C-alpha cells in the first residue's frame, strides 16, 4: 500500500514537471465569505459567476468579484468561466445589469485586492489565479 501511494505521488510529480507546473505555480482559485459553500463542483461555480443566483441559501446577497478586464489573469479567468474573452465578460455583465437581471460584479485589478474584498464582504465570492497557499483557509472554496 505504501508503495502504491509513493508511486502515485511520483507519477503526479512527473506529470506536473512535464506540464511545467510546480507546487508554487498559480492555479485558478475560488474564494468566498459566508457563501455557505466550502466544497462545491465546477457547474455550481460557473452558474454563480453567470449570475444565476441573487441570494445564497443563508439569505445573504451574492456579490461577485472578478478580475478587471485589463488585469493579468482576466483572459484566462474569462475563458475558464465563460469560454470567452475578458472584454466579452465585461459586456456580458453590463448587459445583465442594464436589463435589471443582476447586480453588477466588482472588478478589481489584483489578486490581493480580490482576496481583501472577499475577506471583508459577507456573501462575496471571487475568482483569481494565485498560489493557493496565499489564500486564507476560511475563505477558500474547494472544488470537488
- Across the range 23-40, mean pLDDT stands at 73
Is 56 contained in some domain? Answer: yes
Over 70: is that where the pLDDT of 4 sits?
no
Residue range(s) defining the domain that contains residue 46: 24-143
CATH of the domain at 118: 3.40.190.10
What's the structural domain count of the chain?
1
Q: What is the mean pLDDT of the chain?
A: 80
Is 13 contained in some domain? Answer: no
* CA–CA–CA angle 78, 100, 118 (5° rounding): 50
The string of pLDDT tens digits covering residues 55-101 is: 888 888 999 999 999 999 999 999 999 999 999 999 999 999 999 99
Beta bridge mates, 125: 32, 64
Is 19 contained in some domain? Answer: no
Amino acid at each position: 500500500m505504501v508503495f502504491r501511494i509513493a508511486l502515485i505521488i511520483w507519477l503526479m510529480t512527473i506529470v506536473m514537471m512535464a506540464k511545467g507546473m510546480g507546487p508554487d505555480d498559480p492555479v485558478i482559485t475560488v474564494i468566498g465569505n459566508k457563501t455557505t459553500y466550502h466544497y462545491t463542483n465546477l457547474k455550481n461555480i460557473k452558474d454563480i459567476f453567470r449570475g444565476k443566483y441573487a441570494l445564497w441559501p443563508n439569505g445573504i446577497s451574492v456579490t461577485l468579484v472578478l478580475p478587471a478586464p485589463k488585469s493579468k489573469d482576466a483572459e484566462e479567468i474569462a475563458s475558464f468561466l465563460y469560454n470567452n474573452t475578458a472584454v466579452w465578460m465585461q459586456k456580458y455583465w453590463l448587459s445583465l445589469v442594464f436589463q435589471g437581471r443582476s447586480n453588477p460584479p466588482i472588478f478589481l485589478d489584483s489578486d490581493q485586492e480580490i482576496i481583501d474584498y472577499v475577506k471583508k464582504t459577507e456573501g462575496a465570492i471571487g475568482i483569481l489565479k494565485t498560489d493557493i497557499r496565499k489564500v486564507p483557509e476560511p475563505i477558500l472554496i474547494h472544488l470537488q
